[in-house]
Structure 1
Amino acid sequence: MTSLIKTPGAAVSTSSRGTYTYIAAYSAVLYTVLLIAPVIAGKLITQFALTPVQVGALFSLELGAFSLATVPAYLWLNRVNLRTATYVFTTIVIAGNVVSGLLDDFGLLMATRVVTSLAAGSITVIILTLSGKTANPSRAFGVFVVCQLAMGALILAVFPALFSQAPVSAIYWTLAGLDVLCLLVVNGIDGNALRQSIPRDHTRARVPAVRFALGLAAVLLFYVALSGVWSFIAQISAGAGIDLSSSSLVLSLATVAGIVSALTATILGDTPQRKLYLIAGYAVMSISVTLLFGTPGLARFAMAAVIFKFAWTFILPYLLSTLADLSGGGHIMNTTNLMIGAGFAIGPVVSGALIQSAGGAFTGMLMLGVVGVLTSLVCILTAQRKVVHA
């Protein structure tokens, strides 16, 4: 007689598959609006007669709202059904994109984009937290990174040509259509995953608050370093006399390398070698930044850019899964979303100030990158140290 009792392993496997699908779909679609910023920017300038400052303010507000969604999530994340929350937030995102395509007033557009980004950021909080609750967090975070990169590559290849003659409304309405498709995967997650009273590990370690702080600092410094360097990598190329076509080819190859490394981390998943992988990834990332010092030729620049992107996307899943282990996937992953946004905001500003103060030289900015990467490594290794179990 066939047993009708499901094994725990099967339940976890089924739940994880649904969660992975949810993570894949939403991480690819929600980050699209940030990835197509260059495509939207030109059309907004033309349609609304905007200045570059106004366009920059719009995207800064969107990114800021995306990150600040973390704050209200402290109140609702562990109290609501995640399926219901996702349906509500996705509906807001869909409506926001539809309305954005209808507006002809820039002030109203900014307000609409902020509300839309708050809803999208709220779903991202769910993604990050659920990733830490899967049977294999490193793999889940790998899926999170891979799908963003793959969508980014697709956008760079298809969107400019597809929407070259279309108004900005066509882009926003396309995003709304993609958001509708995401609704098909919502039932794959456990809506009560964060409301369950029984911990997944009854012998869970007691982690001192300083470990949480170090883990969050590692993420913040990592993003400050990578965004600071990556934001100006094209300028480094131009300063070294490398022509635009060669530089663009190198950056395209770097994107491919990033996808390959994120896929590698996804396939490897959680492993006893995670600490070793982190050390190796951080070391390689530091080396790639040092290759940019001076006036790199095309070969050295290509090597630095490809290695930098490869290391960055290989490190990230293991960095995030380390934080998930510290908290069991709780509010620390919510706070991580804020650290990511803060790092993205701080890095380019500080790097730009260093470049300007040095009269256009990149030495100070690159030194900040190396120090940020190495300090992030020290923080995450310290946070990983063994703790006493209850």
Structure 2
Amino acid sequence: MSGEVEAIPEPQPLDLPILYIGVVSLLIAGLQPLVLGGLAEAGRLSASGIGLAATAELLALGLACGVAAAVLKPTGLRAKLALAGLGHAACNLATLWVADAALIGLRGVTGLCAGVMLWSAVGMIARSARPERQAGIFVTVQTIAQLLLAALLPRMVMASWGVDGALVALAAISLTAAAAGLAAPREFAPLPKSEAGGGRLSPLACAGLAAVFLYMAFIVAIWVYLEPLAAAAGLDPGQAHDAVAAALAMQVLGGLAATVAGARLKASHVLIGAGVINLGLVTALSAYPSGILFIGLVAVFGFLWLFVLPFHTALLIGIDPSRRAAMQLGTAQLLGSSAGPLAASLLVGDTDVGAAMKFAAACLAAALALIVAVVAVMARRDPVAETF
């Protein structure tokens, strides 16, 4: 344990404006293929620029969320969130008139604004009396919103106005998030103070954050190479699309399952059990199964993806009851989501997409080892305590 801490005087309830702002901040994570691919088709971004722009935005988002958690006080929330939403809208609109290096830089600035927006949602969840439930609601609503926009934008906006129409639509959504900021709480309760360790994260908390980073690197390293992996397994494009659709549908079910059952499950059991199952999935997918088996394995992968995410919050609060580690959760998840595909891309050649699976398996094994080690240390420190 990181020391005795004060209880949170008034746990933060689920706040709909904050939930909405957090969802808007992460919409781009599900829409990058659509938006960046459209910019490339319009000749404003090269093929290599797609990866650079995606990485710049997600890295900036994660870093801004972490810095905001470390330096911003949870007061004057309405002004801070309204300004972040306005900045996010302005960056989406400004993307209409830039290309190449300027576009990549601007997407990074867009990520900075989104990071402050995400900070508010992370702060709400970290201060909750039932953080795993609020985290489950957040990831489920976030996934549904991404799915709806990914389905609607190409048909209702981009068919007539191209990628510029999508950017204008995203800017309009960001403006609604800025308006939601004016309805947010004026402030959050301060986080409880630890009697040991001051404001610094303990080595155990850092190990927990590293496990989250590695888990997300494992997930996204597989996800971005899913269609090439399907092709290597002999699936035709239609079957590959079916696998992606199955994974997305099961993500929603996974988030819902975590929301409903989260309070009755121990985070350590879920994280270790899901890690073992995921190792089996990676092994099976590495054998390039064909047809329905490949789709079924990917569907289970999608379910576990979102089912596990809320338990990251419970893990970090169990390690560090001051909840400061939990405030860095978004940073660890987003940095892992960026670093995983970036590192995998350095290993994957023109024909060896299987290297992505090997890299993902290594990340997963390391994450699982860290979680097992953290659980063992916590149990040894206080064998009779009820841990996470």
Q: TM over 0.5, yes or no?
A: yes
Matching residue within 104, 109, 112 for 2:106: 112
Deviations 1:217-251 (A, max 9, x none): 11111011111122212111101111010110121
Structure 1: unaligned runs, 5 residues or longer:
1-8
Provide the residue aligned with 1:122 in structure 2.
Answer: 116
The residue that corresponds to 2:89 in the other structure is 94
Deviation (angstroms), 1:339: 2.1
Alignment of 1:126-205 (within 5 A): 126-162=120-156, 163-186=158-181, 189-195=184-190, 199=192
Deviations 1:34-92 (A, max 9, x none): 32222223432344444212333222222222122145425532364333321221121
1:137–1:269 CA contact under 8 A, matched in 2: no
2:294 to 289, 301, 305: 301
Specify whether residues 308 and 23 from structure 1 end up closer, same or farther in structure 2 by C-alpha distance, changes over 3 A only: farther
62-71 or 125-134, larger mean C-alpha shift: 62-71
Check the 8 A contact 1:218/1:377 in 2, yes or no. yes
1:11-50 residue pairs with structure 2 within 5 A?
12=11, 15-18=12-15, 21-50=16-45
Query: 1:273/1:327 Cα in 2 relative to 1: closer, same or farther (>3 Å)?
Result: closer
Question: Displacement, 1:272?
Answer: 5.0
Aligned pair partner of 2:204 in 205, 211, 223 = 211
Q: Which amino acid aligns with 1:240?
A: A
Query: Any conservation in 2 of the 1:129–1:331 contact (CA below 8 Å)?
Result: no
* CA distance, structure 2, for counterparts of residue 115 and residue 371 of structure 1: 32
Cα distance, 1:151 vs. partner? 1.7
224, 234, 241: which one aligns with 1:231: 224
How many Å separate the matches in 1 of 2:255 and 2:329? 19
Worse overlay, 69-78 or 291-300: 69-78
Distance 1:181 1:57, change over 3 A: same
Could you tell me which residue of structure 1 aligns to residue 242 of structure 2?
249
Q: 1:26 to 1:325 in 2, by over 3 A?
A: farther
In terms of mean alpha carbon deviation, does 236-245 or 264-273 score higher?
264-273
Q: Deviation digits for residues 175-224 of structure 1, max 9, x if unmatched?
A: 1221222245436654432546xx389999x9982211210111111011
2:369 pairs with 378, 381, 384, which one? 378
Q: How much is the aligned-residue C-alpha RMSD, in angstroms?
A: 3.2
After superposition, give the CA deviation of every residue in 1:101-122 in whole Å (9 maximum; x if it has no partner): 3x25555444433222201112
Q: Distance in 2 between matches of 1:333 and 1:203?
A: 17
SS across alignment from 1:270: helix
Q: Paired residues, what number?
A: 373
Shift of 1:383: 2.9
Task: Quote the sequence identity (%).
Answer: 20
Q: CA separation of 1:17/1:68 partners in 2, compared to 1, >3 Å: closer, same or farther?
A: closer
Q: Following the alignment from structure 1 to structure 2, what is the Cα–Cα distance between the partners of residues 381 and 333?
A: 19
Equivalence for 1:5: none
Where in structure 2 are there 5+ consecutive unaligned residues? 1-7
CA contact (8 A) 2:251 2:302 kept: yes
1:95 and 1:183 map into 2 onto residues whose CA distance is: 11
Give 1:256 deviation, angstroms: 0.6
TM-score (norm 1): 0.84
Work out whether residues 138 and 317 of structure 1, in 8 Å CA contact, stay in contact via their aligned partners in 2.
yes
Cα deviation for residue 174 of structure 1 reads 1.1
Which residue number corresponds to residue 3 of structure 2? none
Correspondence 1:369 to 2:360 = yes
